[in-house]
Amino acid sequence: MPASPAWHARVDHAGTVLGSAFLVAPDMLLTCAHVVHHVDEVSVWFPGAQVLGSVPARVVARGPWGGSPADGGDIAVLTLDRSVGVEPIVFAEPEGAEDLGDPPRLVAYGFPEGYGQEGAQTELRMTAPGQLIHNEWNQVEYWSGYGQEPSYGFSGAAAMRAGDGRVVGMVASYDPIARNARMIPARVLAQYVPALADLVPTPGCTAEEKRELRELVHRVERCGSLPVQMDRLVRTAAGRFGLAAPTVPDGLWQGVWYLLTESRPTGGHFPAAELTTLLSDQVTDEELRRGLRSWARAYRARHAAESTPPAPGGTLGGAARPTAETVRPLEPVEPGAPLPWAPILVELRRSGADSGTVLAEVSVYRGGDRLLVKADQLTAGRLRGWVVDRIDEAYEDIVDGRPLVAFALPRGWLNKDVDQWTRKRDKEPPLGCRAPVVVLDHDRRTRGRHQFELRRVWDELDRQDGSPLHRIGCATRHRAPQLSVLLQDVRGPVGFARPPTAARERGLYGAALDAPAPIVLWPRSGCPPGEPCAGDCTGAGFLDRIAERISLLPPSELPEMIFRLRKEAFLHEGPEPHWAAAGVSLVWEDPRRFPEARFLARSPVS
C-alpha cells in the first residue's frame, strides 16, 4: 500500500464536525451534499498536513440531491480560499475497482463519532463491482465482519484502492441496519461535476479531447433549450451500437458523459462522435456547429488510425481504412484500380408543414456508417444554395475514396436537374461538373424486397466488364406491368428515350424502378410527351450516343463517365449544341454503398 496521502480532509462548521472530503485540485474538494446541507461556508482540516491548520472554504456547487437518502446527486464542491500545496487525488479508470484483486480492498478515511479529531480508517469491498444501484451508487460493505464501521462520519470520504492509492469513488451514505454503505463511483461524480471529467480516466478519450468537448457542451447549454430532447439524441446515438441509454439523461453533459464512459470505440463505431454530430445539427450558431463536427471528425480519425490494422502489403493510399463486419470491400484495391466511392447522400422529401417547403438532410458514409452533416426544413428559394453548402461541408468527413453525390428523391422528382444546382447561377460551375452526381429513388430505398434484389443484381454486375444498354424507345408498346417483368432479367443499364414528364412515361419509369433496375438513364428533354414517334428521333440519338460511351465500361464506373460527359457538354463551344447539353439524368443505386435508409432527423410536420 502506498504512503498515506495528505488529501484526506475533514469538514467543520461552527466547531462541529460535519463529515469528510477529499482534494481533487489544488484549491477544490468534493464532499456529499448532505454534509454541507444548509451551510455555504465551512472550514477544512487536513490530518495529513496539519501545518496548514483550518482552511476556510465555500460551497460553490451542489448536485440535485433533494434531502432523501434515495435521491441522487448527493455531491457538493468546495473551493478553498487559497491553494494549499497538497497533492490532489488520482482517479482510477471507470472500472478501476475491479482491477487490483477480486474484489479489491478499498480504504476510506472518515471522522466517525469518537474520532472527530484524528479520524479513522475503514476497509471496504464492493458487493458487485461494476453494478450500479439506481444508476448512481455501488454498494460497499466491510472487508471483514469486524473493525471500524463506515458510519456517518465517513460521508464524503474518498474510497481508494489499497493497492495503489487511486480513488474509485466517494462514500455517500451508511445503513446501520444492513451494515453496508453506498459509494458514488468516479464516473458518476463527473456526471454532476463536469470539470472532473478531465481527471477521470476514460479509455478511448484523452484529457484534451474531454476538455474540448466540455467547452463545446457548455457553449451549447448557454445557447438555451434544444429543439430535440436530449434523451432522444442519446437514445439515437446509443441504440445504433447496442447500448442501453440511461432512462432519462439529467442534462446535455450527462448524456455526453454516459456515452464516453459506457461505450468503447470499436469496429469503426464511435457513439460519442455520433452524439456530437447529432447535437451539431440542433444548434443554430454556425461556429459552434462546426466546432462540434470538427471534434467528432478528429475523434473518429484518431481512433480509426489507432484501431485499424494495416492491410497486408500496406494500406491503400497510405491511410488506415475503417472496417465493419457488415461491410465488405466493394472495389478492387490492386495498384491502378479506381478508388472506392465515398458517398455523400442528399435526401429531399416533401414537408407536411406546407406545400412550399422541403425537408432536406445531407449525410456522408464512412466505413459503412452514415454520419449526419445537417438537416433542415427549407423553402424552395433557399434549397439549392443550402444543399451545395452542406455538400461542401460533407467533404470534410471523407477520409479517402472518390466523392459520389447521390440525391435520394421521391419518385415524382427524379427528373429534377439536381446536377445543375449552384449557389449562384452563372457565377460558378454546376454541381454535376464538380463531382459525379446520381439519383436514388427514395421509395424503393425503404422497401426490403427491392434492396435485397438490387444487392443480388449488383453481385452479377460486379463480374461484368461492359455495360450493354437496354433501350426503351419512344415507340415502345410495353405496358408498365409487362416492362417490369421484362426488366427483371436485364443485367445492365436501362435507357429511356423520353423523360418522365407525361403520365405514360412516369408509369414506365416506375416499372423499371420496381423491376428493380439498378441503373436507369434518360435525357431531361426529348420528343414532346404524347406525340407519336417512329423511333428515329432526338431520344433515339441520345441513346445511340450513350450506348457508345458506356458499352465497354463496368457498371460501377458509370457515375464517373456521366461526370465526364457533363463537363464535356458544359465546356462545349461548337456551332451546334452538344448532344447532352439539355441534361442527362442517372439513377445509379447500389445498396451496399448506401446501406441504411432511416427516418429523417426532423419531423415532416414540425
Half-sphere exposure of 419 (CA within 13 A, CB side): 32
What mean pLDDT comes out for the span 180-198?
91
- Spatial CB neighbours of 391, under 8 Å, sequence gap ≥ 6: 344, 346, 362, 405, 431, 435
Residue 316 pLDDT class (50, 70, 90 cuts): very low
Higher-scoring residue by pLDDT: 127, 120:
120
Residue 97 pLDDT class (50, 70, 90 cuts): very low
Work out the burial of residue 177: count CB atoms within 10 Å of its CB; fewer than 13 is exposed, 13-18 middle, 19 or more buried. Answer: exposed
Residue 174 pLDDT class (50, 70, 90 cuts): confident
Asked whether the predicted pLDDT for residue 390 surpasses 80, the reply is yes
Asked whether the predicted pLDDT for residue 380 surpasses 80, the reply is yes
Query: Per-residue pLDDT tens for 546-567?
Result: 999 999 999 999 999 999 999 9
Residue 505 pLDDT class (50, 70, 90 cuts): confident
- Spatial CB neighbours of 123, under 8 Å, sequence gap ≥ 6: 105, 106, 107, 142, 143, 144, 147, 162
Asked whether the predicted pLDDT for residue 249 surpasses 70, the reply is no
Query: Per-residue pLDDT tens for 461-501?
Result: 999 989 999 999 887 888 899 999 999 999 999 999 989 88
What mean pLDDT comes out for the span 218-225?
83
Asked whether the predicted pLDDT for residue 106 surpasses 70, the reply is yes
**CA–CA–CA angle 304, 305, 307 (5° rounding):** 65
Exposed e or buried b for every residue in 370-383, given b needs 16+ CB within 10 A? bbbbbbbbbeeeeb
- What is the pLDDT at residue 321? 31
Determine the Cα–Cα distance for residues 341 and 400; give it in Å rounded to an integer. Answer: 9
- What is the pLDDT at residue 331? 42
Query: Per-residue pLDDT tens for 22-53?
Result: 999 999 999 999 999 999 999 999 999 999 99
Determine the Cα–Cα distance for residues 547 and 544; give it in Å rounded to an integer. Answer: 5
- What is the pLDDT at residue 314? 34
Q: Are the beta carbons of 98 and 117 closer than 8 angstroms?
A: no
Determine the Cα–Cα distance for residues 77 and 60; give it in Å rounded to an integer. Answer: 6
- Measured CA distances, 141 to 34, 127, 149, 312 (Å): 21, 7, 9, 52
Asked whether the predicted pLDDT for residue 242 surpasses 60, the reply is no
- What is the pLDDT at residue 320? 33
Asked whether the predicted pLDDT for residue 343 surpasses 80, the reply is yes
Determine the Cα–Cα distance for residues 474 and 270; give it in Å rounded to an integer. Answer: 51
What mean pLDDT comes out for the span 567-592?
92
**CA–CA–CA angle 370, 354, 372 (5° rounding):** 10
What mean pLDDT comes out for the span 192-212?
89
Asked whether the predicted pLDDT for residue 99 surpasses 50, the reply is no
Q: Which three cell numbers stand for residue 401?
A: 475514396
CA 64 to chain centre: 29
Q: Are the beta carbons of 507 and 480 closer than 8 angstroms?
A: yes
Asked whether the predicted pLDDT for residue 330 surpasses 90, the reply is no
Determine the Cα–Cα distance for residues 590 and 439; give it in Å rounded to an integer. Answer: 11
- What is the pLDDT at residue 258? 82
Query: Per-residue pLDDT tens for 393-405?
Result: 899 888 778 999 9
Asked whether the predicted pLDDT for residue 250 surpasses 80, the reply is no
What mean pLDDT comes out for the span 188-209?
89
pLDDT above 70 coverage of the chain, percent: 82
- The secondary structure of the chain in percent helix, strand, coil, rounded to multiples of 5, reads 30, 25, 45
Query: Per-residue pLDDT tens for 351-376?
Result: 866 777 899 999 888 766 777 888 88
Does the predicted TM-score (pTM) go above 0.85? no
Residue 243 pLDDT class (50, 70, 90 cuts): low
Per DSSP bridges, beta strands 167-175 and 120-126 are unpaired
Q: Are the beta carbons of 493 and 520 closer than 8 angstroms?
A: yes
Residue 602 pLDDT class (50, 70, 90 cuts): low
Determine the Cα–Cα distance for residues 198 and 278; give it in Å rounded to an integer. Answer: 23
Q: What are phi and psi of 389, to 5 degrees?
A: -60, -45
- What is the pLDDT at residue 367? 67
pLDDT above 90 coverage of the chain, percent: 46
With cell 473518429, the residue in question is: 300
Q: Give the residue from 254, 218, 257 showing the smallest Cα distance to 63.
A: 254
Whole-number average pLDDT of the chain:
83
Q: Are the beta carbons of 445 and 594 closer than 8 angstroms?
A: yes
Higher-scoring residue by pLDDT: 305, 545:
545
Residue 323 pLDDT class (50, 70, 90 cuts): very low
